[in-house]
Structure formats: structure tokens, C-alpha cells
Structure 1
Amino acid sequence: MEKKEPVVWVTGASSGIGKAAAIEFAREGFQVAASSRHESRLRLLEKEQGSESLILHLIACDVSSPSSVEEALSKIISRTGLEVSCLINNAGVTSFNSAEEDSVGEIKNIIETNLLGSIYAIKAVLPGMIKRKEGTIINVLSTAAVEVLKGSSAYSASKAGLRAYSDVLREEVRKYNIKVIDILPGPTRTPMWPEEMLNKFDSNMMAPEEIARLMVSLYRNSGSLVLEKVIMKPIGGSI
């Protein structure tokens, strides 16, 4: 029987770091389950492959909904015939408002997507990883989880919360040979930023493709060590 390549599930794969990660892992030969709640943008991944024969399974998923996450995992297993070996928790939203200006609805959406959505995805794949005694969970956080970024109170809280959750999870699952890795990117050139900020600070932002390549390296590391926390910043410093 032909050996199938491991399955990498990338959430928030329709743009930015998630999109770059989905393409990079697929180019490296992995089976990639690329999920997003933005189905139309997700379909563009197929067109952007060009002549490349990449294994991309496009899955509609709203991570803020536990049932949507469970349904997505069921589809991934059905289409690939395998459990998820690597989860990349990337789906995220933000606002650029002061704490006073943020509406309750905006705060709720940010926390439910960035924090709870990541936890729902972890809870979905964890039983399979524990049973197999192997797995990798890469949480895409932000330097906003450890540094003050004005205008990002809800976003910073969501990422700091996931960082704390990740710290505890890491210690609990070591005995199962499961790696929990946090990456904390600084300013990155993604659609999350308003266009005027992208135009103003473009030369001092990281490329999502660079971060994607690093994630592949982190996952491929199969030795006796694990880089548990990786902070990345533009060479020129944060904006």
C-alpha cells in the first residue's frame, strides 16, 4: 500500500500567513487541509496553483463554531483517510480601535475567533494525536501577546489568552510526544492591516511566505528538541 503523506490542517487559509502556509506545506509534499469561512477567497487557492500539482483539500469552516470545526475535521479525515498530524491555528480577526471605541460585538467576534476558535480546533484534533502518541500544534500568535500595541486591546487579549492556554497544554501533552509551538510574528504584510497602513509601512513588514517557510522547518524538525516559542520581527524593527 502506498504511504500517504501527513495531513496538515491550516485554519484561516484564504489569505495572509494561512494562505502562504497552505501553499508552502503543499509544495513540500504534504496533504494540506486549507480551511476558512471565506469560501470564495478559499477557492482562489485552486486557481493560484497554476501548473503545480499540490494536494489541497479546501474546507469551509468557521472556527468560532464548535460544530463547524467538528464537521471540518470529519471532512478532512474522510477525504484524506488520515488523522491530522499538524494543526496550524492561524484563523484570526482584529480591529484597530481603542478599548473605548471597540463595540461589544467586535470584542466578542475577536475573542470567539482568535481564542475560542483555536481552542475548538485543538480540542478536535487532540484525541487523535494522543491516541497515536504524535502530533504538532502550531499556534500563530503575535508580538501583541507580549508587547503593548495601542488600538489592539481585544486582539492582544485574545492572543495572550491563547499563549497562556498553549503554555499549559504544552506541559500536559509532552508525555504523548505532542509538540506545541507558538510563533509570534511582528508586523506582517497581510490583508488584516488597513490599506493605508500597508502603504505607509510596507517596507518594514515581513512577508507571510517567510513565516510559512519557518513553519515548515519547525514541523520537519523531528529530532529530540522543539522550538517552543519563536518571536519574529522585521529586521528594521516594529512599526
Structure 2
Amino acid sequence: MNLKKAIWITGASSGIGKALTLEFARNGEIVIATSRRVNLIENYKQEFGDNSLNIIPEEVNLADLNSIENFYNKYSGKYFFNTLINNAGISSFKNALDDSLEDIKKIIEVNLLGAIYSIKKVLPKMIEMNNGTIINILSVVTQKIFSGSSAYSAAKSGLLAYSNSLREEVRKNNIRVINVIPGATKTPIWDSKVLEKYSHRMMSPEDIAKLIYQIYSIKNNIVTEEIVIRPIEGDLN
């Protein structure tokens, strides 16, 4: 069976995930866009015009392995996920003392385990096809110490380490593993008061999506393995 190529983008309901979905779909790629809030994807798809046919919204809870399994089983018979973009992320912005165990568990499940589960689903087919791209949207917390982000930092740093090790294992299979490390970006992950105060300094999701698509589009024998992106004025603290 000839499978259609598709890109799976997680956390596609808003922010960088939404911008990535629209950018890739605009460039003719079939995007299966997943989120717990699938209605938000369906809403912006309706406003996208002709290229909206390239977007397939689907509800997936990355903290639930069964949800990921059911999603993959539903689409893998028709599509080859030649690209996975792990974008979904949550944070509490609390000090370690104030983070509840429940909050920490959710942050680890979505930001780290959900990404690893998703990689584990698409990787065997990528190896079989000798082709694939895995793009992880990480954070500058993997490069610099910030207060109020201990669980988030642990999750994103864990995914960075996992991906760096994975890359060495799959080079021989023509699979690219790309870590994108953005600084402060104007997305709903921030509290409204922070956005009101600092949004003028933050990067736009659309600009980041365009840059990621350019990196993705390089098809010759080079790969951008890691890229750090910051606002010109630097980090917020």
C-alpha cells in the first residue's frame, strides 16, 4: 500500500503549534494537527481558505498513552508520518516548593513522556522507510537557569538529552533529529499580566514557524541539529 506522507504536529491548537500547522499547510504539506482542544484547530481551519484541506484536526491527550495509541492506529494505515513535531507543552511557573505533585506529574507527562511516546510510535516506520524528521520544540530553560520553572526545565532538558542520544542511534537510518530552542515567545503559555508587560519584546510564533519550515525544507546532506532562537533584546530575566 502506498501511504501518503503527513506531518504530525502536537499542541497545534494555539501558539507555535498553530503557527506551524498553518505554515506547513500553506506550503502544501498534509498536517495532522493534534491537541486536547481540537475545537480550536477546527475553528482556525475554517478561516484558512483553500489550504485548509491540508489540515486534519484530531483530539489527542499526550498524557494518556492509550490516546496516542488510538490516534496512531487510526491514521497509520493511510499515512506515513515522515515528520513529527513535538510542540505540546505546559508549565506552572511556580517555585519548586509551591509546585504540587499533581502539577509536576502533568508537566512531565506532557512535555517529556508524551513526546517520547509519540516518537516511539512513529520511529519504527521511519526506520523501515529509511526516512524521517523529528523536530522538538524545547525552550531556553535547557540552556539557562530560570526560577519558577523547575519541573518544566526538568522535562524539557530530559527531552533534549533523550533526543541527542536518539540522534546518534538513527543517523544510519537517514532520520534527522532537530532540537529547536526558543526564548520568550508570544503564546498562551504565559500569564496575561506577563504578556501585557513583555509581549513587545517577545518573538512571534509566526516568525518561528517560518524559520522552522526553512530548516525542515533543507533536503540535502546537511541537518540543523540544534538551533537557539532568542528575541533581539534577550531573555526576560
TM bucket by the smaller chain? over 0.9
* Cα RMSD (Å): 1.4
Shift of 1:70: 1.7
Q: Which amino acid aligns with 1:43?
A: E
* Alpha-carbon distance in 1 for matches of 2:171, 2:50: 41
Q: Which residue of structure 1 aligns with residue 136 of structure 2?
A: 139
* Alpha-carbon distance in 1 for matches of 2:118, 2:164: 16
Count of aligned residue pairs for this structure pair: 235
Q: Which amino acid aligns with 1:67?
A: N
Shift of 1:51: 5.0
Query: 119, 124, 128: which one pairs with 2:125?
Result: 128
TM-score (norm 2): 0.95
Q: Which residue of structure 2 aligns with residue 184 of structure 1?
A: 181
1:27 equivalent to 2:26? Answer yes
1:207 equivalent to 2:204? Answer yes
Q: Which deviations, in whole Å up to 9, do the C-alpha atoms of 1:60-91 show, x marking residues without a partner?
A: 1011111111211223335xx22101000001
Uncovered stretches (5+) of structure 1, i.e. residues with no partner: none
Q: Which residue of structure 1 aligns with residue 192 of structure 2?
A: 195
Confirm or deny: 8 A CA contact 2:3 2:80 kept in the other structure.
no
Q: Which amino acid aligns with 1:70?
A: E
Shift of 1:237: 1.0
* Alpha-carbon distance in 1 for matches of 2:208, 2:192: 21
Shift of 1:53: 4.3
1:168 equivalent to 2:165? Answer yes
Confirm or deny: 8 A CA contact 2:45 2:52 kept in the other structure.
no
Confirm or deny: 8 A CA contact 2:25 2:51 kept in the other structure.
no
Shift of 1:42: 2.4
* Alpha-carbon distance in 1 for matches of 2:52, 2:108: 36
Query: 145, 153, 157: which one pairs with 1:148?
Result: 145
* Alpha-carbon distance in 2 for matches of 1:53, 1:119: 29
Confirm or deny: 8 A CA contact 2:186 2:195 kept in the other structure.
yes
Q: Which residue of structure 1 aligns with residue 218 of structure 2?
A: 221
Confirm or deny: 8 A CA contact 1:115 1:161 kept in the other structure.
yes
Of 56-65 and 66-75, the range deviating more from structure 2 = 66-75
Q: Which deviations, in whole Å up to 9, do the C-alpha atoms of 1:175-214 show, x marking residues without a partner?
A: 1000000000000000000000001001110000111111
Of 59-68 and 157-166, the range deviating more from structure 2 = 59-68
Q: Which amino acid aligns with 1:77?
A: S
Q: Which amino acid aligns with 2:71?
A: A
Confirm or deny: 8 A CA contact 1:170 1:180 kept in the other structure.
yes
Uncovered stretches (5+) of structure 2, i.e. residues with no partner: none
Q: Which residue of structure 2 aligns with residue 232 of structure 1?
A: 229
* Alpha-carbon distance in 2 for matches of 1:11, 1:75: 16
Q: Which residue of structure 1 aligns with residue 47 of structure 2?
A: 48
Shift of 1:43: 1.9
Query: 69, 81, 84: which one pairs with 2:81?
Result: 84
Shift of 1:54: 3.8
Shift of 1:153: 0.5
Q: Which residue of structure 2 aligns with residue 115 of structure 1?
A: 112
* Alpha-carbon distance in 1 for matches of 2:185, 2:214: 19
Confirm or deny: 8 A CA contact 2:15 2:205 kept in the other structure.
yes
Q: Which residue of structure 2 aligns with residue 6 of structure 1?
A: 5
Of 62-71 and 12-21, the range deviating more from structure 2 = 62-71
* Alpha-carbon distance in 1 for matches of 2:128, 2:200: 46
